[in-house]
A and B are shown apart, each in its own frame.
Chain A
């Protein structure tokens, strides 16, 4: 791994490859774009400093997301995110929304974000790892340190919780 040799171009390449997934995971897990970006920096800094500890036996993705998750835990312990007020899309408002944001905003996007953010942190975590970080169940199991079966059942519970949260907010669609 070239990052271990202090190669900043390698760090940039690593970020280009995983940045979107890392950032997506952190944004959904932390529910705050600014905090997510800080943790993203923390993660890359930790990668920069600990690349020589990278063991080939685990994949780059699990190693990377494992670091990101630890950094998030470290920072969220300090920030106490459960006290952050949730006011729908306001926290996510972007001066220049892309097509996805428009679509979501037009289709009860506020309710969707609100419902997701209301989930318990271990549900947000597993959903973000699966659908924002695009990791396999085996990789998620390795990152969380639980059996693959636990990942699957946690995903099912998270899906059910999300459906309930959406229903509570009057969002009606064929969610189970």
Chain B
């Protein structure tokens, strides 16, 4: 701006004195200053102001100490970041992390039981598929839920006990994984069965187990969060035993209990709604911190 030698660079002197100008701007000011005593005098004034401003400034704290202090405050102060994107990413990270922590036995046992069911159905004949799956798939799901949580089943239990992620949220993440897996397994088993016996429709097969499986899993999940995984598995298994008994014991097969069971353990709008309600209750329960210090910074609750 001063290249013409007529216009003074008054406007840029403060920035020049502050050391802000770079490249061509800086070169232009320097070129003008070389031949302009009045601008040099003005620059001296700004340099004095700059020196006065920065002279008594103390050195800042070290980066290590201040970052430590800031992170400590971030962890202690339960103000969670308000942005949804962060929640979604956290959910993804949690699922990935928990995937590594669910023991291989859970995956293996589920697939073995499901394979047995397929074999049984094949041996039992064309019409056995739906019945076998409707009995086995829900049990596999409950077994999976039982296998993912608790001191004796969890390799990372000690670590989990001291993390800020609420244990119920961890349970929810694992159950989501296990349920997705069981869903895929049961679908695969149904596909195999309908391929082996083409007269049995895939939709019929899926309807046979989907409702009961979802309802039983939702029930055992809610119970696991409420009264703990061991008791929950026991209660779910007992309920399931009642259902199996009403089918297999002739004396019970025509009674009111059997009618009730047929209504409850079916794929119908009612059971789906009930399962959803139970799942929502479980989710609500999972976001309630278990310990007073629960909440920061990973907590999804706010």
Contacts and interface: CB of A to CB of B under 8 A. Distances in A.
Contacts of B83: 52-53
Contact of A152 (B11, B52, B57): B11
Interface in A64-98: 89, 92, 94, 98
A164 interface: no
Main secondary structure of the interface of B (DSSP, over half): helix
Contact of B85 (A28, A52, A101, A116): A52
Interface in A137-173: 137, 152, 155, 158-159, 162, 166, 173
Nearest to B46: A159
Contact of B67 (A12, A115, A135, A152): A12
Nearest to B73: A45
A116 B53 CA distance: 7
A28 B57 contact: yes
B251 interface: no
Contacts of A1: none
A74 B52 CA distance: 26
Interface string B257-280: 000000000000000000000000
A111 B227 CA distance: 72
Interface string A34-55: 0001001100110011101100
Contact of A24 (B20, B44, B57, B79): B57
A101 B56 contact: yes
Contacts of A19: 60-61, 63, 66
Interface residues of B, number: 38
B70 A45 contact: yes
A132 B59 CA distance: 12
A125 to B, nearest CB: 11
B57 A132 contact: yes
B17 interface: yes
Interface residues of A, number: 55
B103 interface: no
B79 A162 contact: no
Given A52-B86, A130-B18, A173-B48, A112 B55 contact: yes
A175 B45 contact: yes
Given A12-B63, A41-B66, A49 B81 contact: yes
Interface in B54-94: 54-61, 63-64, 66-67, 69-71, 73-74, 77, 79, 81, 83, 85-86
Nearest to B50: A131
B49, B79, B83: residue with the most chain A Cβ atoms closer than 10 Å: B49
Nearest to A24: B57
A28 to B, nearest CB: 6
Contacts of A8: 67, 71
B237 to A, nearest CB: 41
B15, B46, B52, B85: residue with the most chain A Cβ atoms closer than 10 Å: B52
B56 A92 contact: yes
B226 to A, nearest CB: 33
Nearest to A149: B11
Nearest to A9: B67
Contacts of A89: 56
A56 interface: no
A132 B71 contact: no
A127 B67 contact: no
B14 interface: yes
B59 A98 contact: yes
Interface of B: 11, 14-15, 17-20, 44-46, 48-50, 52-61, 63-64, 66-67, 69-71, 73-74, 77, 79, 81, 83, 85-86
10 contacts: A23-B58, A45-B70, A45-B73, A48-B70, A98-B59, A100-B55, A116-B52, A130-B20, A132-B53, A135-B18
Given A19-B66, A104-B55, A112-B55, 16 more contacts: A8-B71, A20-B60, A37-B60, A37-B61, A49-B79, A52-B83, A100-B57, A104-B56, A109-B55, A113-B56, A116-B53, A131-B53, A132-B54, A132-B57, A135-B18, A158-B49
Interface of A: 8, 11-12, 15-16, 19-20, 22-24, 27-28, 33, 37, 40-41, 44-45, 48-50, 52-53, 89, 92, 94, 98, 100-101, 103-104, 109, 112-113, 115-116, 127-128, 130-132, 134-137, 152, 155, 158-159, 162, 166, 173-176
**What are the nearest 4 A-B pairs in CB distance?**
A23-B60, A131-B53, A131-B50, A104-B55
